[in-house]
Amino acid sequence: MSWAFLRDLLSGVNKYSTGIGRIWVAVVFIFRLLVYVAAAENIWKYEHDEFECNIKQPGCENVCFDHFFPVSHVRLWALQLILVSTPSLLVIFHVAYRENREKKHNQTLYKSPGEIDGGLLCTYLISLVLKTGFEIVFLILFYKLYNGFKIPHLVKCDVRPCPNTVDCYISKPTEKMIFLYFLVATSCLCIVLNLSELSYLLCKYSVKCYLKRYTKEHRGSASGCHKSGTISHRRAAAARPVHDSPLAQAPRLSVRSQSHFPFRKCLVYSVCNGMA
Taking 3-state DSSP, the helix, strand and coil percentages for the chain, each rounded to the nearest 5, stand at 70, 5, 25
- Rounded to whole angstroms, the Cα distance separating 169 from 213 reads 67
Whole-number pLDDT of residue 139:
92
Q: From residue 225, how far is each of 87, 218, 228, 233, 253 by CA, in Å?
A: 50, 11, 5, 12, 47
Whether residue 91 contacts residue 127, with contact meaning beta carbons closer than 8 Å, is answered with yes
> Who contacts 94 (Cβ-Cβ below 8 Å, separation ≥6)?
119, 120, 123
Whole-number pLDDT of residue 231:
56
Q: What is the full per-residue pLDDT of the chain (276 aa) written as tens digits?
A: 555 655 656 665 666 778 888 888 888 888 888 888 888 878 887 888 888 888 878 888 888 888 888 888 888 888 998 899 888 888 888 777 777 777 777 766 555 555 666 677 888 899 999 999 999 999 999 888 888 888 888 888 888 888 888 888 888 888 888 888 988 999 999 999 999 999 998 898 888 877 877 777 777 665 555 555 555 556 555 655 544 444 444 444 444 444 444 444 443 444 444 444
Whether residue 186 contacts residue 199, with contact meaning beta carbons closer than 8 Å, is answered with no
Measured on CA atoms in the order 26, 28, 30, 34, is the torsion positive or negative? Answer: negative
Whole-number pLDDT of residue 260:
46
Whole-number pLDDT of residue 189:
94
HEC assignment per residue over 20-85? HHHHHHHHHHHHHHHHHHHHHHHHCCCCCCCCEECCCCCCHHHHHHHHHCCCCHHHHHHHHHHHHH
Query: Where does the chain show beta strands of DSSP type E?
Result: 52-53, 154-157, 166-169
Whole-number pLDDT of residue 4:
60
Whole-number pLDDT of residue 138:
92
- Please choose, from the candidates 201, 12, 2, the residue with its C-alpha nearest in 3D space to the C-alpha of residue 89: 12
Whole-number pLDDT of residue 241:
53
Say whether domain 11-219 belongs to CATH 1.20.1440.80: yes
> What are the domain boundaries of the chain?
11-219
Whole-number pLDDT of residue 226:
54
